[in-house]
Amino acid sequence: MGKRILIVDDDALLRDFYSKVITSEGYTPVAVGNGDDAIAELEKDSNFVLAIIDLLMPVRTGWELIEHMKGNDKYQDIPVIALTGLAASFNEFQKVEDVCDGVMHKGSFELPEFTAKIKSIVEKKKASR
């Protein structure tokens, strides 16, 4: 099994798209539709090289999930790319940028930028071990 990436998005089409992209880059996607399912996956096995998390979801928001992850010793070191479709205020955006390893706006990023960001973060994590 390749390096695992957790994908958390309530949009099934986007989960499928991200999964295909990640698979084509040689990673193993684990895709779930909400923050509670993500926590269940993390509890089963927290060996992820990256988490890609939509900020706006039902059940538990992406931000709540990120706060939960960063507050837990078992998976606080998993790098996070936050995905957002909303124009956040400067303060909100700064808060997310300060905590996450990357922030990407849904619908306004190019595929090469997305894959380059994933590789960069995974390589940086590998180098810091």
Looking at 3.40.190.10, 3.40.50.1220, 3.40.50.2300, 3.40.50.800, the CATH number of the domain 4-127 comes to 3.40.50.2300
pLDDT of residue 111: 84
Query: What does the pLDDT look like over 22-76, one tens digit per residue?
Result: 999 999 999 999 999 999 999 998 899 999 999 888 888 888 999 999 999 999 9
End-to-end CA distance of the chain: 20
Per-residue pLDDT band at 92 (split at 50, 70, 90): low
pLDDT of residue 84: 81
The rounded distance, in Å, linking the Cα atoms of 78 and 107 is 25
Percent of the chain residues past pLDDT 90, beyond the cut: 57
Closest CA to 85 of 14, 3, 2, 6: 14
Q: Which residue in this structure is represented by tokens 């084509």? A: 24
Per-residue pLDDT band at 107 (split at 50, 70, 90): confident
The rounded distance, in Å, linking the Cα atoms of 52 and 55 is 10
Q: What is the mean pLDDT of residues 15-22?
A: 94
Give yes or no for residue 6 having a pLDDT over 90. Answer: yes
Closest CA to 31 of 5, 49, 56: 5
| Mean of pLDDT over the chain | 86
User: What are the structural domain ranges in the chain?
Assistant: 4-127
Percent of the chain that is helix, strand, coil (3-state, to 5):
45, 20, 35
